[in-house]
Structure 1
Amino acid sequence: MDAPTAFSSGAPMRHLNTLGLGIRTTPDKGRGVYATSPLARGTLIEVSPVLLFTPQEWEEHGRHTVLDHYTFIWRIPGQPKPSMALALGLGSMFNHSSRPNVSFNRNIAAQTIEYTTTRDIAPEEELCISYGDSARLWFPVVDDADRRSESDQGEWGGLDGVEIGGVPDEEPDRFAEETMWEVGNTDEIMPAPELPFQRIKSLEELEEEETDAIKTMNVWVVDVDDPRMISSMLRFLKENALDTPELNHLRRVRKVNNHAILLLSTGPPPPLPGSLPAPYLYAVPRLAAKDQDDLQRKNLVWPVEPIMRTQEERRWTRAEVAWVVRGLKRAISVAREAGLRGEVPVGTYVCNAPGEEEIEAVGVDTRLSANHPLRHSVMAAVRGIADIRVVISPSASTSVSTRISAEGSPASSAPVSRSGTPSLTASKKNGADYLLTSLTLFTTHEPCIMCSMALVHSRVKDVFYVQGMPGTGGCGGAEGRGCGVVGKGVNHRFGVWRWTGEGLRVPDVSPGTDA
């Protein structure tokens, strides 16, 4: 049940649809949906209504029937457990592919699923979606790439056929950590000493702790004499995507005598409304307060939000730790598969947090097959997210929940699936055109300086890695003591976390490799 294939056998089933799609049967995959004429990228295939099963109905009845193989997770905001949805029409006929050519978007409010092509599709080609992580599928994966001759490696040196879940289990117990974290109360807050990962502090944080001096940065501000303009100006900041993460620890307004100073942005602001004076640069604290004493000191420079700099003491539930383990496991699977195909065994997986709108991609290092030194897995994953965002249909912005799949790019493999609530729409508004806003990146080896700066510019939320890279890593390894790419001189900061637990082993790479 994998990979788009040409018709191989079986009489066509009669089915009425506007695109003349056919339903055919093949010996290896059973029934599937096929194109009978060329379909352009972005074509809306169908809007399928869904039949919903409550959590109780599904647990007691539905999951014990053949329907268990055809339903989608349907997470309704405010409902503690997800429902299950059976797509009616063509929605239940799409087979799985590790390289899907159709994405699907859930619309919770309308109780429909929209299916859209992610690339141009030729006649006689099967239309496939991704069912998710192949390691968790209940059937053997069939992939056309496995039937290629060795001389026909495809456009991307054979990596377009990578099946992420097909990694030989050389170490059966290497992911026992995941099971451990999924046992017990999943909402339990785990004590910091028991976490299997730790945050890498920025060089700036370390320097501030050592010297006790307040680090500052220049931002653009404007004087506002009329207090009635404050509300409209705050709306102006949001409408122009100026409420960026690097300013989250600062209050927007500072009162001085009889007027206010409004914080605008880190970069030159757009033209201001009304009769406001010209903006000017102002030094403000670069970092959040680390404790109450630090808060009082920084408030003398500029009002700081009463939140402490507690990323290292961030509260993690048992379920969230298990999610991190799964993300790193996914990256390791990508890396091992790449290594088996003769590539540098570095893998990357990008997704958003559980309970948020789905957008996911993986990146494969192809510097060897592409004969290009910059084809790193992190760059591939960013490219994969870019490709996904291009094919998102306009209707997705009105959906309460969306799942997105993507066609592989020259350095990326197919995404996997989860379910959740909206964030992509908000990310578009607040993050403008930044690719990784609100997303988390998992990678096997510490990203090099080039990839780390790409993550800064992409506005990634958090980065997790397993293996540090002394001398070449951009998230602490090159500096040897702290992360240098999220400090002075950059306009975005992301959390950097290194795996310190047991059970996760990554493939070896040569010392000095830029990962």
Structure 2
Amino acid sequence: MVETHLPALAADQEAHVQSLLQYPSSTPHLNRFGLSIRDPGGGRGRGVYATAPLAADTLIEVSPVLLFPPAEYAEYGSKTQLDGYTFVWKRTGGRAVMALALGLGSLFNHHPTAPNVKYVLDHATHSISYTTTRAVAEGEELTISYGAGRMWWEPPPSQEVTEREEQEKRQAQDPDHAAMEMGRIGLSDDEDEQESSSVDKAKRVENGIEVRSAPGPSRPATGPAVYRITAGVDPVTVPLATRDAWIIDIPPTSASFAVKFLQKHPAELQNRDDGLHSTRHLRSFRTSTSVDPNGRKVARTHFLLCLRTAFPDRSRLVSWLRTEGGSVFGESPEPYIGQVPVIAAPTKERLTEWQAVWPCIVRTNAKELVPDNGGNPVLLVDRKGDEKMWHDSQRVRWAWNRFKRCVALARHALQRADDQSTVVKVKAIGSAVHVTHPFDAARHFQSANGAMTWEEREGCDWSQLTGPGAPIIGRLPPCEATTTWDPHKERIISTLGMTEAQWSAFNTTPSASVAVYTSPSPGIGTIEVDALDMRVALRNPLKHAVISAVSRVSTLRGIDRSNSSLAVANGADYLLTGLALFTIYEPCIYCCMALVHSRVSEVYFLLPSPGRGGCCGANLPQASQCDRANDGGIYAIQEQKGLNHAFTVWRWMHPSLALPHQPNEEPADALDDLATELHIGLLDP
């Protein structure tokens, strides 16, 4: 660390005071890796050195930080030598809390191009962790990156440097030179544009510090009411994994020829279509500078040939380069093993951490499958995007209403079973399902003239199944009132469980109290279906609520298609394509497979099904377990890679069925109480 004592007070510049401030060439320090603190001379100040070989990805130091309030630091700290050590910890209200790293943190020197240590700010513990990015040899200095651009201790650039930078800008206009500098081999135009903005973003990181949230899903403590159940990794916390690659040093003048060589031999060097040898996310070059025996700075260009897996045998690679490379790599090529990131940087904010290993691009597609260090796919999930989506109060109310509907249906079924006045006793299970359109589609449905709007219906009391305050649920004719549905009468009544009175009500002309909702597509009505678990009542072990719902949707699909000119594939009427399913319990494995086969789009559940559910993956290996779901079912069917369909699973996370941040006139149902009230015993949900 360059140690500069700012001349804030004249008295401190007296010779006897300055003599007391001089540091020795070596400072004692106790740590588990035997790291030493030395001043090698040359004006760099003290630094941290390895006294034994260190492996890549080794956590070598965790430094606590000392924080300074914004006003205090501006008034006092910025006017002292602390200003050369502190950095922005967190901004607030246009000002910044400043931090001083204790321990070894403030002693790591800066390396402008190839630091061998990365660091992460941990706001939760007020500490900074330092980890090696590659193998470090005994006696090698451990360095970090303070960021891009001229450092505060460096003098302004000379005229010679300025002229050289101008020349480099002119050279950048040459296509070959531009390819050499950026190494955009195999990147699409979209990726180039994305990476350009990412690099600009990285350059604006103050002091080169990469800020990362504490491990876990990136959501506030109060959190959204609905949470995605997936084993996908949040890009904020996905670990930086590296693997071996063949790298070779070349003269800068040979860079354009190396680019052409790379383009000529993609099959041998870089298979960009699979996760085994792909280097599509990596740049082809990185540059560094070193000092020769005469004290002159020498620029070096490091060229990425391929991953080690493409050429496991170095002797064969050398022979091939000598034969195919011609004069590009010289008569005696000297490739060596280096480390490169396994995947692209998952966020723009973490690009600095990735770039410290090897230049690469950013890919922020949350649904993209990328290989981990073993070649297996890793699903990224955008937790911040989920947070933003579920901060929409209208969307949360839409989900809340349908959960209330399911609970009301289950209570109604149990009440009928306990009603001693009924002649025919019906045995019931406290499980119910509601199928509807996803929020983004449902809110665009249109109401008939005089009927309540979709927004007005969402304001109804969905815990009521009947009465003036209850929402209208079910199927009404989407066409003219003169159209008769009599040919479908028996099929609808038997499949949807309707009475003759309900049929008559559903076949009358719409009025102000009856809502009719249709799709923007002519002749297609909304699909809204309720279903109960009928296994006990019908003495049929297959009649789960989910299965009954699929059957009812099939009926409505068939009616729509029979009244249109659309061609229907054999067996396609039962599909839940483009629909969302709400259920009280996490579906069992049997129901999950039915949902896969039915092509459901989204599944929402209220209560977990430990030991029996098929969405949480609690019994899977650690890497395949879903976040916030270890109290649920044993598998995660929705994420099995061998299936031909995947659906999104969401869970109500609040401890009660209440709208967040809104007062309720009546006490909300606690989920623990619902689990007791609607307990289904040993049956699969």
TM class by smaller structure: 0.3 to 0.5
Higher RCO (CA 8 Å, separation ≥ 6 residues): 1
TM-score (normalised: structure 1) = 0.37
TM-score (normalised: structure 2) = 0.29
**Structure number with higher helix proportion:** 2
